[in-house]
Amino acid sequence: MVDVTGKGDVFRVAWARGFIRLTEESLRRIREGRVEKGDVYSVAKVAAILAVKRTPELVPLCHPIPITGVEVDVQALDDGVEVEVTVKSVGKTGVEMEALAGVSAALLAVWDMVKKYEKDERGQYPHTRIERIEVVEKEKRRES
């Protein structure tokens, strides 16, 4: 790991997003609250928060840092679900990995919850895709 002992604590925020392409049936079930496994929005949000908190366990060289805030937005769009995660911290390193981990876990949770409706007659997923996972913006500033 990189030694950050000598670095001062700085306010940091990172905003990441990603998208999962889904079939019309899955999207209809999500919107109508008819997914057998439960509320997709709630489960995706909890998955994102858990992943943010556990990022150092998933990414080997990622420092454990104090997370001071997590915001998760999950929206059903015309052709899939978009997830946005914003992570805040006052610490020695950035929170980009935490935001990306949150988005990734939320998208995987969505896939898991609707996979029953996504499979074709051969049990494959010809339409389902996780796409466009990215850090949209990050910021750091000294508190005054």
**3-state SS string for the chain:** CCCCCCCCCEEEEEEEEEEEECCHHHHHHHHHCCCCCCCHHHHHHHHHHHHHHCHHHHCCCCCCCCEEEEEEEEEECCCEEEEEEEEEEEECCCCHHHHHHHHHHHHHHHHHHHHHHHCCCCCCCCCCEEEEEEEEEEEEECCC
Pick the catalytic residue from 3, 78, 112, 120. Answer: 112
Question: Quick check: is 112 catalytic?
Answer: yes
Catalytic residues: 112
